[in-house]
Structure 1
Amino acid sequence: MSRGDPLAPSLPLPAARNGVERASRRVSPPLPCSLESPVIETLFGWVTQPEAWLAFGTLLLLEVVLGIDNVIFISILAGKLPPDQQQRARTLGLLAAMLMRLALLFSITWIYRLQNDLFEVFGKGFSGRDLILILGGLFLLYKAVKEMHEQLEGPGAHETSVVRQGAANFAAIIGQIMLLDIVFSLDSVITAVGMADDIGVMVAAVVVTVAIMLVAARPIGDFVQAHPTVKMLALAFLLLIGVNLIADGFGFKIPKGYTYFAMGFAIMVELLNLRARRGKPVHLHETQRHPDVS
């Protein structure tokens, strides 16, 4: 058989090919961060599970609803700052809320310990969670009543606008926002732990919720500041939420559905009032009267 015959056997080629394959196997390093990494598996392993997506959607919806009161409170406090600092305060406040929620999620053991009774008063046990809710509710009542008084009566005689601007400085507002973020974050995380079993689902729901609130915070804040009656209604919501927190701390669980239904109904009525004041008054159509048949 001639040397140029294409059918002539070539024995060294398989050995060479095997050598190249062995060399390629030797020089191919493992990926430094594969999907089998424990951290990646913990945070993103749920994305391939259909039932986990259902839990994520349910938890996301609930977290957004629970975050409304946080957005209202941040918007009211940020409204006391100069316009060029309001968006920065809202952003920092919501990012601080997200970091607190994530820190609490990764401290689930500590969260469960917070629900153990620390002491008893007249046979009623109080846990660390109860104390946080009671103190947070009292602080919320104080801030809402104080803000209502200033809106209706104006600042006190001993307070000038310069003093108010000095008191309502950026650091003080951020401090108050972070203080209430602790209360709202604790309630949110306890809800998340009770609804989902996968830490990755909880983390994803919290991050997406804060992203939604970051987008919605500015229009909500501008709308509240532009309409005094809406701002007063938002302060009334904070009073209602404060009462709910205190009642929950003392063991009287008020169903959140009742609270959110009342808030939704009040918002609907206020939107109708805003429409009536903006344009011509809304006239109700009278029912057609039929003459009496004698």
Structure 2
Amino acid sequence: MLEFDFCSTVSSIFSTPFSLGMFTEPLMLLAETAPPEVVAGDLAEPSEESLFSVGGILTLGMLIVLQAVLGFDNLLYISIESKRVEESKQSMVRKWGIGLAIVFRIILLYVVVKVIALLQEPFLNLISHPLEVHLSGHSLIVIGGGAFILWTAIKEIYHLLAVSDLGEEGDKGEKGNSVTKAISLIVTMNLVFSFDSILSAMALTKSLEIMATAVILSGVLMIWLADHVAEFLKKNRMYEVLGLFILFIVGVMLVSEGGHLAKIQLFGYHVEAMQKSTFYFVLAVLIIVDVVQGRYQKKLLARQAKLRLAEQPSA
């Protein structure tokens, strides 16, 4: 049986220097190392942990924090994808997309509990030098989602470079997607992003009631945050490029994770998954560089304006 000592975990967390990675890496490691049949078997049994018990409430709180930490990249994708519809419908698209995704996440949670062993079992084994691949359903979904995220980020970056008038593009935007298509893409990618959080949640608790409640509450929080993130990117367009490059790194992270799950080897070298702590470190560096560069650029522009004003002949 898979045993999880919640009290010792909480104690170790508060005795460790704070970092975002400490929420995700131990849980992801536990989810990855636990045999699928053990996880599925534990979840299939009735759980003694109640949602309204002290342990259940603490576990629920940890799951909500985990969902929030793992859901940042998803929130960024939702904000960028919703821009492709008419401005008056963007907020509605975000709310409907996240709302439907909550429903499908709960369904996915129950499905994963029942078929996790099948998703982890390789259905394609390719051993041919210099490439070795053991592809499973889980790895295929993660690699496919990562490739789609990479394509989206590259396409949006190219669009920013190709547009001739940023002011006109900012007013009109590229409204190439219908509302239905935008919602469908948001729901689909939400499910791809949810695999990590679901597997981590399964390592934390055996209670489907607690996991489903965490999905609902974190989804409501995401609905509230989505409009704020979209509004921030709209008012601060210089951070849009930063957001797209973060999205690009998210795609790389998903592809590397899928390659690790598929046990891909190239010329004898294993594909290693990008650690969550590495992702958040790169994210922090990108944000700091962008903020410092933005402030420095403002000072340069102010100095240039003063010099031009001083060079003008007095009347």
Q: TM-score range by the shorter chain?
A: 0.7 to 0.9
1:261 to 281, 285, 288: 281
1:225 to 234, 241, 249: 234
1:167-209 CA deviation, whole Å, 9 max, x = no partner? 3222222222222122112232122212222111111111111
Following superposition, the deviation at residue 89 of structure 1 comes to 0.7
Alignment of 1:69-84 (within 5 A): 69-84=73-88
Alignment of 1:1-294 (within 5 A): 46-107=50-111, 108-122=113-127, 123-154=132-163, 165=175, 167-251=176-260, 252-274=272-294
1:59–1:196 contact (8 Å) kept in structure 2: no
Q: 1:222, 1:48 → 2: CA distance?
A: 36
Tell me which amino acid in the other structure corresponds to 1:236: F
1:28-79 CA deviation, whole Å, 9 max, x = no partner? xxxxxxxxxxxxxx89972342222222222111111111111100100112
Tell me which amino acid in the other structure corresponds to 2:204: M
Note closer, same or farther for the CA distance 1:162–1:86 as it changes in structure 2 (3 Å cut).
closer
In the alignment, structure 2 segments of 5+ residues that lack a partner are: 1-45, 261-271, 304-315
Secondary structure of the corresponding residue to residue 287 of structure 2: helix
Secondary structure of the corresponding residue to residue 76 of structure 2: helix
Following superposition, the deviation at residue 124 of structure 1 comes to 3.3
Tell me which amino acid in the other structure corresponds to 2:96: L
Secondary structure of the corresponding residue to residue 119 of structure 1: strand
Secondary structure of the corresponding residue to residue 254 of structure 1: coil
Note closer, same or farther for the CA distance 1:266–1:53 as it changes in structure 2 (3 Å cut).
same
Over the aligned positions, Cα root-mean-square deviation in angstroms equals 2.9
Larger Rg: 1
2:78–2:186 contact (8 Å) kept in structure 1: yes
Tell me which amino acid in the other structure corresponds to 2:107: A
Note closer, same or farther for the CA distance 1:220–1:277 as it changes in structure 2 (3 Å cut).
farther
Note closer, same or farther for the CA distance 1:240–1:275 as it changes in structure 2 (3 Å cut).
same
Following superposition, the deviation at residue 144 of structure 1 comes to 0.6
In the alignment, structure 1 segments of 5+ residues that lack a partner are: 1-41, 284-294
Q: 2:47, 2:96 → 1: CA distance?
A: 25
Note closer, same or farther for the CA distance 1:164–1:215 as it changes in structure 2 (3 Å cut).
closer
Following superposition, the deviation at residue 269 of structure 1 comes to 3.6
1:117–1:125 contact (8 Å) kept in structure 2: yes
* Residue-pair matches, total: 237
Which piece of structure 1 moves more, 91-100 or 268-277? 268-277
